[in-house]
Amino acid sequence: MRSVILSALVFVALFGFGLYRVFQASPLSPGYTVTWKAEHSLPSNHQIRPGDLAYPEEPLAAARILLRDESANGMHLAASAVQPGQAIPAEDISPRPVLKTHVPDSQIYFYVLKEDTTPAGGWTEGASVIPCYQKTVGKADSAKDKTVCIHTPLSILAIHTGATSSEASWLALEVPANLRCTFAEFAMADKRVLFQINSP
């Protein structure tokens, strides 16, 4: 029995090595396009995480499963929102999201997350945030800390979570033209907080 199990393990190892060599020597046949399949609904610009994508039913899927092709993890869906089971071609997977503003004269700000408290359930694409910060007002002998909030909700266009400690995590926020200066004050404040609201 032990010899049968050993033989089976050797066969699996040799088979896997053979597939690896074939895949390395000629990863794609002529006309072949790498595609993925959505496991569930994914919004536009979503950062791909484990469990978001599956391998489509195709001849090379077995090799990709064996080799644990996770090349899409950490990338962004640079296309419209997709539904469960929908095919996603390789060109719709990008290291950076494709961002567009929805309000005239608005601007996209990449807000780097440092000591910000992550809301319950995490940051959500399509939700909005209310930024609040402390601002010192008055003269030095009578200075006071004043809480300032931007009461106009700012849309989260995309979220990026750094894979390593050296890679920044950020939110892409749409900021209207009339709030640029106030938002710049918020971004540079020592004490600040983002409140996430209106989750889709």
pLDDT in tens, 89-106: 989 999 989 898 988 899
pTM for the model stands at: 0.72
Owner of token pair 């809480």:
147
Burial label for 177, CB within 10 Å (0-12, 13-18, 19+), is: exposed
pLDDT > 50? residue 59 = yes
Percentages helix, strand, coil for the chain, rounded to the nearest 5?
A: 25, 30, 45
In the predicted model, is pLDDT for residue 13 greater than 60?
Answer: no
Tokens of 40: 């569930």
Query: How do the domains of the chain map onto residue ranges?
Result: 2-94, 107-197
> Which tens digit of pLDDT belongs to each residue from 130-149?
999 998 887 777 778 889 99
Asked if 42 and 77 count as a contact pair (C-beta separation under 8 A), the reply is yes
Q: What is the pLDDT of residues 144-164, one digit of tens each?
A: 888 999 999 999 999 999 888
| pLDDT for position 31 | 52
Structure tokens at 156: 């989260």
- 176 CB neighbour count, 10 Å cutoff: 16
Per the model's pLDDT, the better-predicted residue between 159 and 68 turns out to be 159
